[in-house]
Amino acid sequence: MSDAIEKPLLAVLSGERRTPPPVWMMRQAGRYLAEYREVRAKAKNFIDFCFSPDLAAEVTLQPIRRFGFDAAIIFADILLVPIALGRKVWFVAGEGPKLDPFDVSLVDQLTEGQSRTVLAPIAETLRRVKPELPGHTTLIGFAGAPWTVATYMVEGGGSKDRFKTRVAAWDQADHFDAMLDKIADATIDYLVMQAEAGADVLKIFDSWAEGLPEPLFERVIIRPTRRIVEGVRAAGVTVPIIGFPRGAGTLYPRYAAETGVTALALDTAVQPEWMHKALPADLPVQGHLDPAALRAGGEVLGSEVDRLLDSWADRPHIFNLGHGITPDVPVAHVEAMLARIRSRA
């Protein structure tokens, strides 16, 4: 029996419709789980946590044991690639990631060819997780897309509007595009390594894709993502690739058509009826429950789950959130969401 039949999520990514659809959540290994918080306390900081295969493997498996999700996504972070490029990354409690702001004119100073060495612990985590998963559970590896990674590098951390990065993209286009290429090439090596270590699926997170005019979207979102997909395929990796250009709006169809991704992850603002018409009928989609509805729970959660299940019933669909689960979500709400989805069986 093939993996596509044994694993419901892989079946959907191969073009099948499943009722109920397979389900997992972005950030499903996280602070809303008491068992996660217990393990997190054993690491001196978040980066060390990601680079500790024993701890990272344990928290990757926790939501599978508790909820029986159809996929486990490896516990890591999108800002590990900058470390492989020679940048310093740290996390500040209550503030999030911090980096020394990077001047794109210094792109030649970024180190190259270090992904497999620096990020080897993530491959080890995958190798540890794989044999511990139930046979029907898909293992997902991932990386941040070049644009999103670049925004953190240029801004020195998170930013509401990525204005400094957008200015650099327009004003220093050659340097900026060269930086994106270096991030993309490091990401190719990283994703290939993850597939070799056992990932059944790869996902590319472009968390800050919203708000870009189409010419910039083509340059900084589509072009480097296509470079990654082509590079991964050129290395002989055939596993499905899910792309998530969060907030892409009317540019979602162009992203799907031009990057070569296998499936499209959708954010909470996507209008299903419009998207059905804009996408090829057989293109798998993933998403896109509002994390706030999950936090609210009750009738609101149930009606939103039903709406999305009905909206995507005629297309290959993976049920997920439109962004990551928040730390304050009660476990009971996750259980209620899963019960609602699984009641469609």
Catalytic member of 3, 17, 18, 40? 40
Catalytic member of 17, 18, 31, 344? 31
How close are the terminal C-alpha atoms of the chain, in Å?
A: 22
Q: How many CB atoms lie within 10 A of CB 181?
A: 15
Nearest to 148 by CA among 82, 50, 237, 57: 82
Nearest to 65 by CA among 169, 128, 116, 137: 137
Residue 77 bears catalytic tag? yes
Residue 344 bears catalytic tag? no
Residue 37 bears catalytic tag? no
Separation CA 231–CA 173 (nearest Å): 22
Separation CA 269–CA 94 (nearest Å): 27
Residue 66 bears catalytic tag? no
**What are phi and psi for residue 70, nearest 5 degrees?**
-80, -5
Catalytic member of 70, 77, 177, 200? 77
Give the bridge partners for 265, in sequence order. 286
Separation CA 242–CA 229 (nearest Å): 10
Separation CA 119–CA 129 (nearest Å): 16
Catalytic member of 32, 36, 152, 255? 152
State which H helix or E strand residue 115 sits in: helix 115-118
Separation CA 151–CA 220 (nearest Å): 11
Q: How many CB atoms lie within 10 A of CB 26?
A: 21
| Catalytic residue positions, numbered | 27, 31, 40, 77, 152
